[in-house]
Structure 1
């Protein structure tokens, strides 16, 4: 959802008039039905959705899929808004980050405190995650998984050929990139889309500036930090990375960039852990055929992207019970394990047995737990977790403009960034 609270409120009011005038009042749903808006349609995700469906059916409920194709989710959000204002909301919808708060401000989300208290969600979730699932101190959503964004993926054969080592900081990154280039290998696989540019940028910001800088600059959008000497260093380092990408990068999808690393055409890629699914699908083994390491300088930090379900207010008592059983099932150990084994992400629930997970997931889980305690667990701005959608879009555009321009100076980029952060 790409709207801030005020436009959403106006849109809901306008839609309420149109829906009531055009379609009449909604009919009541079947008893014990849980209707879920989700995007779990790929192979592994579809298996996970089926498991959740089976769990609900075992409790006697009916599962109903609600998905609207097209528009990158925009069409689904439009239909969701019309359903909500007509008094016919689904039980749950896949919504994440600050957008959860936008919906909660409309007064349309259900209070899940009784489930959360019974299941001890406050103890099972890191505070930075549980805070995002709450509005005014009350749970209004259930988190499903955690994707780590600040990963570096590398092809060990390419590094061996270049006589280079996988970098742990940005100085080492450029040494490795230069060695790969001399060996005739594209150093950095990249796709030219603004979210990919920003995924790289936030890893540079975290690795160069550290956790406190990242929080002030990219979560709090503090003007002084955005104008700081550290930001100048971050932007300079970020632009330097561009020189090690290939001329065909613009417009390339992220998975095609991952394929370049898999084939050894490129040495490394900065991308979230969904990239791991591409390596696994290609029959590659972590630690042998590919390396997963924290992005340079970020080993003690973790930028997270958490998928979650907003839970809407329902009127039918049986459906409310089904909805609460859904919320409970989402955070159950069995579902957390099955879903995340299929998705390539890790459980959001702390204290999970990671025995069935691969080495990359085990490293991710270890770092997730450690950073939850140390304060190094931070939301990814590139993936909709940190700031309202309008500001996020403007900041992404500013960073991509700098990445793609041969003429824009670092001071110009700073000015654009500061202006973008003020977008409401």
Structure 2
């Protein structure tokens, strides 16, 4: 789920790719869209957007690049921009939008935002991510909530445990599950998964204000202070409930452990819900979705968005604005998010077809956008630039896989905050 992106690439590094790719001149009333939504549900959603565009008389040119969690797509995009043939739109998110903005290659789509009343329909924290120097350059597709805890209620019942709302209750439940001979915490030992757990723990231990100071603003005192030490101490304790075979396990296999009753709890974003749905499981009955311990008043977000690149002709610009408007339409936001497990980025979408986990997510996003608890996920490319995020991940992965002390970890984290 994580994208490492730096727009600062050398011409030499990509010269061969750029030369190999043909320069494509877009036809009138056509949009070319680069994305990496290639799984079943995602591909279905893209097909809906294509259908909407073609109904408006605009041809859809698909530029799907599979693999690498988006890294392959970013390599292809850089090559196309260098070759002077940027697509109409590309799937980019978070601080990476700002990095592309600095290159001077993004299109101003304020006209679509004005017509669609985006300012009134998007939380400010979301609309800010979609802008470069005050102008809209991207359209949000969805919002993933990252700070979820997924629970198998049958495992809890067998262990005589209850669903936890804070870390005291979490460790009590974990002890009981472990004593009952089951795995307490399903986890995949990959750096981005370690970072996903870490950010939920930091949020649960310190709250949204601490999270913003330490992880978004990179305040040195917050990064090295007692709250961050406690975060790593809590993480160290969670480690003791993870099974010995976790190293390298994919996230969906960890989710399968919850589905199959082999494990009790998993820290993971709402894309995990797709696994439960595919297995025919019902929320509230076969599985529980709860905010990670101590984070019920907060919401870590990961937003997928389509970023618009400068196109040459008036016809192409017009088609681009139509595309932006279609992405933000309630119709598309509904169908895409029903398929993806996420929730609409905008207000005004019918909730009728969404399940209880999605409704909870919508309510919590609305509440946290008003109380200051809506914060960007660092583990999923929304909070800090890719160099710093990568350095943070390295520290957390080392901590998870060694006897590194919490005191040493906070010093390493403060150093990682200076990565360039």
Q: What TM-score range do you get, normalising by the shorter chain?
A: over 0.9
- Contact preservation (8 Å) 1:350, 1:369: no
Task: Name the structure 2 match of 1:275.
Answer: 272
Q: Secondary structure at the match of 1:230?
A: helix
Change in CA separation of 1:158 and 1:3 when aligned onto 2, cut-off 3 Å: closer
Q: CA deviation at 1:185?
A: 1.1
Deviations along 1:351-375, one digit per CA (max 9) or x if unpaired, are: 3221110000000000011111111
Task: Name the structure 2 match of 1:45.
Answer: 42
- Contact preservation (8 Å) 1:15, 1:85: no
The 4+ residue runs of structure 1 with deviation greater than 4 A are: 13-20, 22-25
Task: Name the structure 2 match of 1:410.
Answer: 406
- Contact preservation (8 Å) 2:187, 2:242: yes
Q: How does 1:10-409 map to 2 (within 5 A)?
A: 11=10, 14=12, 22=19, 26=23, 28-406=25-403, 408-409=404-405
2:402 is the counterpart of 1:422: no
Q: CA deviation at 1:67?
A: 2.4
Change in CA separation of 1:269 and 1:56 when aligned onto 2, cut-off 3 Å: same
Q: CA deviation at 1:24?
A: 10
2:4 is the counterpart of 1:2: yes
Question: How far apart, in 1, do the equivalents of 2:313 and 2:280 lie?
Answer: 47
Question: How far apart, in 2, do the equivalents of 1:390 and 1:347 lie?
Answer: 29
Change in CA separation of 1:27 and 1:345 when aligned onto 2, cut-off 3 Å: closer
Question: How far apart, in 2, do the equivalents of 1:392 and 1:419 lie?
Answer: 12
Q: Secondary structure at the match of 1:161?
A: helix
Question: How far apart, in 2, do the equivalents of 1:387 and 1:27 lie?
Answer: 33
Q: CA deviation at 1:321?
A: 1.4
Q: CA deviation at 1:317?
A: 1.9
Deviations along 1:84-138, one digit per CA (max 9) or x if unpaired, are: 1222110000010100000010000000111111111111111111101101100
Question: How far apart, in 2, do the equivalents of 1:209 and 1:33 lie?
Answer: 49
CA RMSD of aligned residues (A): 1.7
Change in CA separation of 1:170 and 1:17 when aligned onto 2, cut-off 3 Å: closer
Q: Secondary structure at the match of 2:143?
A: strand
**68-77 vs 31-40, greater mean Cα deviation:** 68-77
Question: How far apart, in 2, do the equivalents of 1:259 and 1:131 lie?
Answer: 36
Question: How far apart, in 2, do the equivalents of 1:292 and 1:160 lie?
Answer: 16
Question: How many residues matched?
Answer: 418
- Contact preservation (8 Å) 2:37, 2:64: no
